[in-house]
Amino acid sequence: MNGLQARLVRTPVRPVPRHRWDDGARWLLSEPRGFVRVLGAPGTGKTTLLAATAAARIAGGADPESVLVLTGSRRAAGSLREDITRRLTTREDADEAGGRVRTVRDPLVRTVHSYAFAVLRAQAARDGDPAPRLLSGPEQDVVVRDLLAGDLERGAPDWPESLRPALAVPGFAEELRDLLLRAAERGLGPEDLVRLGQRHGREAWVAAGHFWSQYEQVTLLQGVGGHAVGEAGAPALDAAELVASALVELEGDPDLLARERARVRHLFVDDAQQLDPLQYRLVRLLAGSATDAVLAGDPDQAVFSFRGADPRLLADADPDGDRTIVLSRSHRLGSAVHEAVARLAATLPGSAEHRASTASTVSTVSTVDGAEGGAGAVRTRLVPTPAAEASWVADQLRRAHLIDGVPWSDMAVLMRSASHSLPVVQRALAMAGVPVASAAEELPLARQPAVRPLLALLRVAADAEALDAETAELLLSSPLGGADPLALRRLRRGLRRLELVAGGERSSDELIVAALRDGDVLAGLADAEAAPVRRLGRLLTTARDAVGEAAGVEEVLWRVWSACGLQDRLVSQAGRGGSLGARADRDLDAVVALFDAARRYVERLPRASVAGFAEYLSSQHIVGDSLAPVAVRGTGVSLLTAHGAAGREWAVVAVVGVQEGSWPDLRLRGSLLGVERLVDLLSGVDDDAVSTVSATAPLLAEERRLFYLAASRARHTLLVTAVQGEDEQPSRFLGDLADDGTDARDAGPDVRREVTERGLTLAELVGALRSAVTDPATEPGRRDLAARQLARLAADGVPGAHPAQWYGLAPASTDRPLRAPGEPVRVSPSVVDTLVACPLRWLLERHGGTDPAQLSAVTGTLVHALAQEAAEGTDEQTLWKELDAAWAKVDAGAPWFSRKERARVEGMVRTFLTWLNQSRAELTQAAVERDLRVELPAGDDERPVVLTGRVDRLELDHDGRPVVVDLKTAKTPVSRDAAAEHPQLAVYQLATLLGAFAESGTRTGGARLLYVGKSHNRTGATVREQPALDDETARTWLNTVRRAAGDTAGPTYPVRENADCSRCPARAACPLRPEGRQVTGP
């Protein structure tokens, strides 16, 4: 190996922080005490005490298998397992425990559901039965929605008539699942729910009970039916059924219960306030004869009632308080954070002894470099917009990292609703250069960007008819096809070109589908045009061949993945880090999860088809949890909801979006099926009590607990922000943080009236220095200093520091005019209109500053074409057929919007027809879409000007004078005064006077704007008229056209402010507009 020597190096172990425990904690640590309840405020060390006690028992000689620690989540279980192991394998802590343990088996730390599953699996193994299978949330959602769809097909006879329209709504399935889970967690079955509904007059509960019975039969049949090879299947259980089944087994089998009690001698439960009734029964059943049975928690941090958690179970676990330890010293929170959290605790309903705690005076509180003695800080801010809020938070986090030395991974941003706040925060952090730890996926596996095209490819390979235009575009624009929008447009144009040459009429959508379905290599197209189709065609061939060989789901998926070549590219991107690396990591994780889902699907159904797997995964509409391995995430700021932060801590925590209306969120939950009412009844709250209690009171109490939990996640620095404006007011909770009873609206500095600090980013530094250098009012010494600093930054290659990179300072590339002297200028009436308004706009639009393919331009062209046909005598039925044929080729976006625009186009054509019929008594049609070309008389020093263009309609009035009618599809007509001075109409009249329509005479009868987008009761369409030009006005407009033509020559193009500036497509490069000054100015 070329002399290379390698050796294993032990991963550095973080030292175990020493705690100054209360007398009660030391009493628990000393020896097993039977049942003990541990209560404490946030940061008092409840979890740490459980870890220390479990480690002490194992170090004292207890078998690690006899120690069971139950937690609320897999993340919490992993952290607690790591903490216990570290205490056992760290020499100092082992010495304190009386031994020198260096290597141990992992302690048994599990979630309640994991333990219940282990009990059922062990019992099934002893009985020779198949192990149970956990029915995941997405799978359960699919079953519920399928059964509801079946009920709808039968007319939903079991459901109340008032609920039948809601059965197809996704939210109804979610609420129904919630109702069944809450009932199961409280020990009810389908028959119990039916009887409860009948007793209390709740028809929805009766129907839900019948549905539940049907649901149980379906899931049971799925298990009993077994595999496709005829093997016995495993019973599928959801989360609530898992715990209920474990309880049934333990309570119904004395031998099993005795074995479990003999094995589990030391039971510790963390976050016991999150237990639901079934989980609590399971814990008490195991704790019956344990030498240690410790329940630790804080009822004030119970925030998962929507999942069935009941904090009263922990609160009432020790009615006399004889077996309760109250931890009263805060080991985690800095003094400032501790005081703020204590003020929040004082606002919680009821009273509790454990809320009173004192800040630690010893070094157990984690501090950050540069902080003063770990006292910490609490800062609140009121900001005008969500974007300003996110920017301030990003700046504070960057300062904490650069000045105080806080690692990015020791910071978090918490929010009440990820859908509202997460995108804005992510964008602000990215702009400030703050790395973000990858958040948990909020999309179902089948909808994740890396998985969606792979599933679509499998579906098309199994069924060629599944390939439609939408699927083809998805596949081509995905990484599998590799076509960006420009390449896709190039492909469509190439296909249409070939089709027209062949005399065909198929659309580009049809041509793409045909090429992919037939495996056409498109030899008639250039390589750049055909590359996406050829690349995707090879993958489809690979997948079809594998399906034809009857290969399994995993084999087909693997062949496609190997052939697409994405693995090397994603792995390379992931290795480079940054935002692209994080995205590549997420894509690779999603693909690994896809293979894991395929494995589990094949294990359950070995002979299942590829199409069946694709349909199975695509039918899942909610996010699932996967045990598939994921990439090790880089360090970054955590972005979480407040619920997701339970049980975690950071040095710096920002709580954003503390708005009245969103935090607290007092919208009633579960109101359609009465989930909350069901929970109240099963908890002993009768109808009379419910009628006297506010429905929002429990919601407000839980929202207070949630904010209390979020604020207490900070060890050293707590940042709380809210938006204050006309439509947004800060939450009442913000005022609770203040120590003087301040109103929430005055609870923090208002940055709208404050001079904000410059952000600690290079971009803002360069901007501040450039502003000082270019501002004439800057003091000379300060300007010189700023220039020297810019020179230093420019020497190091910082973007934007060197004046050569500044907009507006580079010399013009040329000063030659656009047109040579004496060169004829061709202008149209519409061009003159634009030049009169603003020559700069004409220049930018003329050279690519506008998109001619906008929908408004397409509809305008279509209306003009149909109006021309109508004027030439085409009947209405033919017009509508041609409109349908043309509209089928228009990409108008969403179907509902397309239908709306289609109806608007038809309405404009009908308005034109009405005007056409009603105006015949006054006007006579002379020509439709008539071209014009006329040369303007020019003097000796003037360049030749040629007027060209086309008039929509040329009419003759009673005196035989030409009247130009210009069709407009705009929704808002110009005023009558503006029409009288309208440049486009005036130029049409000028062309008439100069002989453009010589066959109709050289007099003018005026000109008109016909707004077919605005109907009129008398005339059909709204009409704006311009009087006929006399000799004086004709000379005025002749000079106007000459000046406009001269303005096209350049090299300078004046900019003129006008009424259309706010709608100008060139405003991003206009020096008069704020968005354009950054381009045209230094």
Q: What angle do CA 319, 323, 325 make, to 5 degrees?
A: 110
Same domain, 252 and 223: no
pLDDT tens for residues 1001-1029?
788 989 999 998 888 877 788 899 999 99
Token pair recorded at residue 875: 């009947």
User: Can you tell me the distance from the alpha carbon of 886 to that of 550, in angstroms, rounded to the nearest whole number?
Assistant: 44
pLDDT tens for residues 471-506?
888 888 888 888 888 788 888 888 888 877 777 778
pLDDT confidence band for 1080 (50 / 70 / 90): low
User: Can you tell me the distance from the alpha carbon of 64 to that of 266, in angstroms, rounded to the nearest whole number?
Assistant: 9
Confidence (pLDDT) at 1053? 85
Q: Is residue 620, in this structure, part of any structural domain at all?
A: no
User: Can you tell me the distance from the alpha carbon of 584 to that of 577, in angstroms, rounded to the nearest whole number?
Assistant: 9
Q: Is residue 510, in this structure, part of any structural domain at all?
A: yes
**pLDDT greater at residue 1082 or residue 67:** 67
Mean of pLDDT over the chain: 81
Confidence (pLDDT) at 270? 92
- The answer to whether residues 223 and 133 touch, using CB atoms and an 8 Å cutoff, is yes
User: Can you tell me the distance from the alpha carbon of 1007 to that of 953, in angstroms, rounded to the nearest whole number?
Assistant: 10
pLDDT confidence band for 792 (50 / 70 / 90): very high
Confidence (pLDDT) at 891? 67
Q: Which residues contact 52 (CB under 8 A, 6 or more apart)?
A: 19, 29, 87
- The answer to whether residues 916 and 928 touch, using CB atoms and an 8 Å cutoff, is no
Same domain, 319 and 340: no
pLDDT confidence band for 892 (50 / 70 / 90): low
Beta bridge partners of 411: 652
Number of domains, the chain:
6
**pLDDT greater at residue 911 or residue 225:** 911
Of 349, 352, 330, nearest in space to 341 by CA: 330
List, in sequence order, the alpha helices (H) in 253-349. 254-263, 277-286, 312-315, 335-346
pLDDT tens for residues 836-858?
888 888 888 877 655 545 667 77
- Percentage of the chain modeled with pLDDT above 90: 11
Q: Is residue 901, in this structure, part of any structural domain at all?
A: no
Q: Is residue 196, in this structure, part of any structural domain at all?
A: yes
Of 208, 285, 231, 222, nearest in space to 254 by CA: 285
pLDDT tens for residues 133-186?
777 666 777 778 788 888 888 888 888 888 888 888 767 887 888 888 878 877
Token pair recorded at residue 870: 């109508």
pLDDT confidence band for 596 (50 / 70 / 90): confident
Token pair recorded at residue 822: 């004496």
Output the known binding site for ATP.
40-47
Confidence (pLDDT) at 438? 58
Residue span of the structural domain in which 1025 resides: 825-852+919-1068
Confidence (pLDDT) at 725? 74
Confidence (pLDDT) at 95? 45
Structural domain ending residue among the three candidates 327, 355, 375: 327
Q: Is residue 648, in this structure, part of any structural domain at all?
A: yes
Confidence (pLDDT) at 411? 94
Same domain, 781 and 730: no
CB-based burial, 919-934: b 16+ in 10 Å, e otherwise:
beeebeebbbebebeb
Torsion, Cα of 1033, 1037, 1038, 1042 (10° steps): 160
Q: How many CA atoms lie within 13 A of 8 on its CB side?
A: 1
Same domain, 339 and 321: no
Output the known binding site.
40-47
- The answer to whether residues 188 and 156 touch, using CB atoms and an 8 Å cutoff, is no
Q: Which helix (H) or strand (E) holds 370?
A: none
- The answer to whether residues 787 and 1059 touch, using CB atoms and an 8 Å cutoff, is no
Residue 70: Cβ within 10 Å count: 28
Q: Is residue 41, in this structure, part of any structural domain at all?
A: yes
- The answer to whether residues 458 and 560 touch, using CB atoms and an 8 Å cutoff, is yes
- State the burial class of residue 693 (Cβ atoms within 10 Å of its Cβ: 0-12, 13-18, 19+): exposed
List, in sequence order, the alpha helices (H) in 161-231. 170-185, 190-199, 203-224
Same domain, 112 and 141: no
Same domain, 515 and 370: no
Same domain, 229 and 368: no
pLDDT tens for residues 324-356?
999 888 888 888 898 899 888 888 887 777 777
pLDDT confidence band for 53 (50 / 70 / 90): very high
pLDDT tens for residues 688-732?
545 445 567 777 888 888 999 999 999 999 999 998 876 778 888
Confidence (pLDDT) at 650? 93
Structural domain ending residue among the three candidates 590, 608, 626: 608
What is the average pLDDT across 51-56? 90
Confidence (pLDDT) at 752? 42
What is the average pLDDT across 556-561? 91
CATH code at position 37: 3.40.50.300
Same domain, 598 and 650: no
pLDDT tens for residues 814-823?
888 888 877 8
User: Can you tell me the distance from the alpha carbon of 393 to that of 653, in angstroms, rounded to the nearest whole number?
Assistant: 10
- The answer to whether residues 524 and 517 touch, using CB atoms and an 8 Å cutoff, is no
Confidence (pLDDT) at 939? 66
pLDDT tens for residues 647-664?
889 999 999 988 888 888
What is the average pLDDT across 912-924? 89
User: Can you tell me the distance from the alpha carbon of 1042 to that of 168, in angstroms, rounded to the nearest whole number?
Assistant: 67
Same domain, 108 and 142: no
Same domain, 840 and 964: yes
Instruction: Give CB contacts under 8 A, 24+ apart, made by 63-67.
Output: 64/104, 64/105, 64/106, 64/107, 64/108, 65/105, 65/108, 65/263, 66/263, 66/264, 66/265, 66/266, 67/107, 67/108, 67/264, 67/265, 67/266, 67/268
Q: Is residue 338, in this structure, part of any structural domain at all?
A: yes
Q: Which helix (H) or strand (E) holds 1019?
A: none
- The answer to whether residues 279 and 253 touch, using CB atoms and an 8 Å cutoff, is no
Same domain, 307 and 357: no
CATH code at position 597: 1.10.486
Of 542, 626, 634, nearest in space to 584 by CA: 634
Give me the count of residues in the chain.
1082
**pLDDT greater at residue 1075 or residue 557:** 557
